[in-house]
Amino acid sequence: MGFFIEVEDGVRYYVEDINPKGNKTILFLHGWPGSHKLFEYQFDHLPSMGYRCIGIDTRGFGNSDKPFCCYDYDTLADDVRYIIEKMSLYNITLLGHSTGGAIACRYMGRHHGYGISKLVLCAAAAPSLIKRPRFPYGIDKVVVDQIIENTYKDRPQMLRGFGDRFFFQHTSQAFSDWFFQIGLQAAGWATAFIAMTWINEVLFTDLESVQIPTLIIHGIQDQVVPFELSEIQNKMIKNSILIPFELSGHGSFYDQKDHFNKVLSNFIEGLDCA
C-alpha cells in the first residue's frame, strides 16, 4: 500500500509498503533519476519469500514532494532516519542503489546505522563518483558537468541517453519507454541538484564507519559507476563481501534480476552469497 510521510521540514515522502507482515524488512533507496519503481522485479518476488519490502521516493523524485532546496546527502540521510523512526523500523536491511547507495553510506556515518542490521550497496556512487586529487578513480568531472548542462538544456534527451547506458542486457522498447517515464517524473531542478552532489559530496569517512555486515553488488559492465569503486568500498568496509555481476551494467536488479534476488536473500538469511 502507498502513503505519505511528512519529514521534519514538511516535505512529503511517498512510501510503498509491500507485505507489511513480512518476517524481515528491506528498505530500498533508489538511484538517480528514478523512483522506488525501479525495484519492481524485487517487489514482484521477495514478498512471496516472506520479506517486507519498503520503497521510498527521494524528495524531488517519483511521487514525493519536489521542493526547490535541500538535496545534500545530510538532508537526504536525515529524511531516511525520520521515516525509519516514524515507521518504527528496527533490525532491518538497508539497500541503496547508485546515489541511493551514497545516501545509505551517509546514513550509516551520520546516524550510526540506527535501526539497521545489514547494509546492501548496489552500484553505489561512493566514496566519490568523480576523480579527485589523490583519488584517481571514478569518472571525470566533465561528464557530470555535461549531465547537469543537458538537464537544463534538454532533460528528456539527456534521460534517453542515460537510459541507453544504464543496462547491459537487451531491453525492449517498451521497457526503455517505461524507464524513461520514471525519470520524467522527477523535477528538473531535483535532477540537476542531485547530479551536483556527485561533485560536492565525498563519503570516505562514512564508509569507514560501517561496522555491520555489508553486501556489495556491482555489475562489471557498469558504464555509470565504474566497477573499481566497488573494490574500494570492499576494502574500506571491514565486514563486507563483494559479489561481481558479470552480465550486468548499472541496473543489476534487472540485468540479472533472478541472481540479484537470490544473492540478496541469501545474504539476509546468512547463507553463502557466492
Of the candidates 124, 87, 99, 90, the one whose C-alpha atom is nearest the C-alpha of residue 214 is 124
Which strand (E) or helix (H) includes residue 188? helix 188-200
Per residue of the chain (274 residues), what is the pLDDT tens digit?
699 999 999 999 999 999 999 999 999 999 999 999 999 999 999 999 999 999 999 999 999 999 999 999 999 999 999 999 999 999 999 999 999 999 999 999 999 999 999 999 999 999 999 999 999 999 999 999 999 999 999 999 999 999 999 999 999 999 999 999 999 999 999 999 999 999 999 999 999 999 999 999 999 999 999 999 999 999 999 999 999 999 999 999 999 999 999 999 999 999 988 7
Q: Looking at residue 168, what DSSP letter applies?
A: S
Q: For the domain 2-269, what is the CATH superfamily, name and number?
A: Alpha/Beta hydrolase fold, catalytic domain (3.40.50.1820)
Residues marked as catalytic:
98, 222, 250
Whole-angstrom CA distances from 181 to 13, 109, 177 are 19, 33, 6
What distance in Å separates the CA atoms of residue 195 and residue 127, rounded to the nearest whole number? Answer: 15
* Cα–Cα distance for residue pair 215/234, rounded to 1 Å: 9
Domain boundaries, the chain: 2-269
d(CA 159, CA 262) in angstroms, rounded, equals 30
Could you identify the residue written with the cell 522485479?
41
User: The whole model's pTM is what?
Assistant: 0.98
